[in-house]
């Protein structure tokens, strides 16, 4: 499971020109689920995301987590994070999980993150053509991969 965390001052996701979800200060998370992923990956990604110290403290040092600043979170499913670009110029998505596997894990991730944060998490719509807007604060962008925990 790959998660791209972007610290934002605001972010939203639209479908067919209509805003589905919007947040202010917090994290916009792009989440890529692969066939090899299990609940252990969901739990690790959620815990790691919630505790990443990428928000500024009183001295402006990145020393606080989203939990400590009370930030919001928007999670967007993005299978293209598992693109293989080794051969040719057309990416292969063979590692990306099929919807039958990905949807339950995506929904579990949303529920798990809500539990960890203690508040609702905004989301996109799995499989939809979405337009994501954000103001990356910093900019700060962190990539987590549950297959590279060590």
Please say whether the dihedral angle defined by the alpha carbons of residues 125, 22, 146 and 51, taken in this order, is positive or negative. Answer: negative
* Long-range CB contacts for residues 61-69, cutoff 8 Å, separation at least 24: 62/140, 66/26, 66/27, 66/117, 67/116, 67/117, 69/25, 69/26
Any alpha helices (H) in 56-147, and if so which ranges? 66-69, 99-117
Q: Indicate if 55 belongs to the active site.
A: no
Catalytic residue selected from 55, 79, 85, 126? 79
Q: Indicate if 78 belongs to the active site.
A: yes
Catalytic residue selected from 80, 126, 131, 141? 80
Q: Indicate if 131 belongs to the active site.
A: no
Catalytic residue selected from 78, 85, 131, 141? 78
Q: Quote the CA–CA distance of 121 and 139 in Å, as a whole number.
A: 22
Kindly give the pairing relationship between strand 122-123 and strand 2-15.
unpaired
Active site residues: 78-80
């Amino acid at each position: 499971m790959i998660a791209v965390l972007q610290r934002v001052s605001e972010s939203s996701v639209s479908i067919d020109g209509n805003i589905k979800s919007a947040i202010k200060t917090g994290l916009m998370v792009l989440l890529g689920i692969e066939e090899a992923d299990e609940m252990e990956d969901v739990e690790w990604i959620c815990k790691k995301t919630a505790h990443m110290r990428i928000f500024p403290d009183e001295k402006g040092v990145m020393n606080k987590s989203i939990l400590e600043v009370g930030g919001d979170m928007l999670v967007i499913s993005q299978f293209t994070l598992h693109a293989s670009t080794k051969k040719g110029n057309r990416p292969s998505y063979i590692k990306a999980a099929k919807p039958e596997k990905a949807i339950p894990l995506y929904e579990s991730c949303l529920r798990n993150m809500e539990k960890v944060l203690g508040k609702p998490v905004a989301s996109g719509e799995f499989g939809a053509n979405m337009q994501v807007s954000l103001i990356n604060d910093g900019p700060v962008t962190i990539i987590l991969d549950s297959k590279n925990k060590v």
